[in-house]
Amino acid sequence: MLLRRSMIKMLIGLVLLANATNLFVFSAGGLTPASPALIDDGSRVQADSVADPLPHALVLTAIVIGFGVLAFAVALVSRLNSVIGSDDVEQVTEAEG
Amino acid sequence: MSLLVTLPVLIPLSAFAISLLMWRRPVVQRFVSLASAVLGLASAVSLLVHVESDGIQSVNVGGWPAPYGIALVSDLLSATMLILAAAVFLAGVVYSTATIDSSREAKGYYVLLNSLMLGVNGAFLAGDMFNLFVWFELMLISSFVLMAIGAERQQLEGAIKYVALNLVASALFLTSVGLLYGLAGTLNMADLSVKLSDSGYGGEQTVVAMLLMISFGVKAGAFPLFFWLPASYHTPPVVLTAIFSGLLTKVGVYALIRVFTLVFVNDAGFLRDVILAVAALTMVTGVLGALAQTEMRRLLSFHIISQIGYLLMGLGLFTVTSLAGAIFFMVHVVFAKASLFLVAGVVQRLRGTYDLPRLGGLYRSHPALSVVFLVPALSLAGLPPFSGFFAKVALVKAGLEIDSYAVVAVALVVSVLTLMSMTKIWTEAFWKTGPGEAKPDADFGGSELLLLGLPVIALAAMSVLAGIAAEPVFTLANDAAEQLLNREEYITAVLGEDR
């Protein structure tokens, strides 16, 4: 999708890539079927094995960043579309000179 | 003195917040940015002095000990980079006050400049990979908007290429962060350094290292990943090009140096060969691209790429001398490049064009401007007694010491070609009698002359100064390089003695 001539499709490609990356970080961090990383009332350490919360935190941050950046990219493509009158990447290259 | 390490982040953050609150008052934003730039430079200098006397400084933000908390680390290299960034930022802000039109100011130009600076400074201080990613993104989104602000057709076209390629690079970066966490279970760079060099992971490490090299390579503008740079850098107002050239690609190079001296030290022979090959190709393609250009900003943009090659060469040779050469070269190229772009801006202000064939005769009408151009131009080409000469001597010497004749030969040839293309600008814009003679030059007001001239002259003077005072600058670069190669010092500073 990233390599398509249409800029809208390129955007869809970027969205897919960003989400795929997030899922990848999630799974590379190790998916464990354990309890959430919460400590019971009254005790100072967690009772039994817990899932690693760090990949969650990383992915959450990455999702927020990715959302912001993609929102900008959508606005940029929309503006470019109204200036050039086309969403064809070729038009952009031709106008470069 | 933990405050000194956090100040380079705190100052632009406060300036960003204040100018955001003053959204409708660009004049206030100007002064806030100016104050932020001056304070930033002062804090960076005092940080360098502090690091030089007391060793590497590390601060655990929020009080959680490393490797669990977020660490901000400053060694000599990061402190030096902070100073360079602050100096270019200061010059850029002064130049902006005279050249940025009110419609751009009303759309938050100064707000974004401060958030850009926040991202850049954060990246220089980041002690773990994920924070490096976050600072990179902050820097990128600010530069995206700055690139597109004003929404001229050319700018939008440059911005779309810049955005698309950098987003792909960021995705690769995040992927390698995920892989690193999966491999080592930590993202703190000092901790990674310990875990990866103890572990038996060979092939996996190389894969992650290559992914990071691609991702940082895009941001640094290395061969063959630099195509976004000449396609976009000439489109925004020239002061932004100067700031970007001084900050953005250099953050990419900094990240490469940091990661390949600290984290990936196993299987280093292969990685260094790759870096050297990339360095040579970057130098050559950059300078050849520049030779074909006749528009000043485009020509200079290609030179950014060519100079990145020299920096990578220093990293690839991987000796104390070569890394010191790379750091010296960084000092030189940041000042020389930024001042060349700003001079190009003054030329455009005078004659209304960047096109070399339509320029000419500037030496006769503006001899002072010509000198200010000539100094960084000759420095970039590596002529003594300017800073570029000493930087290249160090790199060449380092290459000869370990018998890497091929890359040294490339570096020398590229140097000659750089001189050729600088001569081209000189003869076309300054020397020949131009067609522009008929039309009188635009007039400057006194204050505008001051605001344009001051940053240009200051940057060119820094470039000369780094050449005249080569000895102390090189000593600093040498200390920084020794610190880079002595990983123990960094690891102890972050993780403590009893790890």
Q: How many CB atoms lie within 10 A of CB B403?
A: 8
β-bridge partners, B295: B355
* A54 interfaces chain B, CB cutoff of 8 Å: yes
Lowest-pLDDT range, A8-17, B324-333, B352-361, B391-400?
B352-361
Q: Which residue has the tokens 């001229």?
A: B152
A60 burial (CB, 10 Å; 0-12 / 13-18 / 19+) is: exposed
- If you average pLDDT over residues B116-126, what whole number do you get? 96
Decide if B168 and A7 are in contact by the 8 Å CB cutoff: no
Best of B129, B155, B160 to substitute, by most chain A Cβ atoms within 10 angstroms, is: B160
Chain B residues within 8 angstroms (CB to CB) of chain A: 130, 133-134, 137, 140-141, 144-145, 148, 151, 153-154, 156-157, 159-161, 163-164, 167-168, 170-171, 174-175, 177-179, 181-182, 231
Decide if B231 and A62 are in contact by the 8 Å CB cutoff: no
Lowest-pLDDT range, B78-87, B147-156, B168-177, B373-382?
B147-156
User: What residues of A are in contact with residue B119 (Cβ under 8 Å)?
Assistant: none
- Give Rg (Cα) of chain B: 22
Copy the structure tokens of residue A25. 């970080």
| pLDDT category of residue B206 using cuts at 50, 70 and 90 | confident
Q: Please give the angle made by the CA atoms of B492, B497 and B499, to the nearest 5 degrees.
A: 90
pLDDT in tens, B469-478: 888 999 999 9
Checking if the pLDDT of A95 tops 50, the result is no
Decide if B157 and A80 are in contact by the 8 Å CB cutoff: yes
| Residues 6+ positions from B222 with CB-CB distance below 8 Å | B252, B278, B279, B282, B305, B308, B309, B312
Decide if A61 and B163 are in contact by the 8 Å CB cutoff: no
**Alpha-helical regions (H) of A7-53:** 7-28
Checking if the pLDDT of B480 tops 90, the result is yes
Of B145, B151, B157, the CB nearest to A72: B145
| Residues 6+ positions from B192 with CB-CB distance below 8 Å | B129, B180, B184, B186, B262, B263
| pLDDT category of residue B311 using cuts at 50, 70 and 90 | very high
**Cα B426 to Cα B211, B370, B373, B377, B476, distances in angstroms:** 41, 8, 8, 9, 33
| pLDDT category of residue B440 using cuts at 50, 70 and 90 | low
| pLDDT category of residue B244 using cuts at 50, 70 and 90 | very high
pLDDT at residue B214, as a whole number: 94
Distance CA A67, CA B211 (A): 23
**Cα B349 to Cα A43, B144, B306, B372, B389, distances in angstroms:** 70, 25, 27, 16, 31
Contact B40, B153 (CB under 8 A): no
Contact B281, B408 (CB under 8 A): no
Decide if B182 and A28 are in contact by the 8 Å CB cutoff: yes
pLDDT in tens, B248-277: 999 999 999 999 999 888 767 788 889 999
Checking if the pLDDT of B437 tops 70, the result is no
Decide if B145 and A54 are in contact by the 8 Å CB cutoff: no
Which of B273, B358, B341, B264 has its CA nearest to residue B313?
A: B273
Best of B115, B130, B174, B355 to substitute, by most chain A Cβ atoms within 10 angstroms, is: B174
Number of helical H runs and strand E runs in chain B = 21, 2
Decide if B153 and A95 are in contact by the 8 Å CB cutoff: yes
Which of B81, B91, B90 has its CA nearest to residue B12?
A: B90
- If you average pLDDT over residues B48-58, what whole number do you get? 92
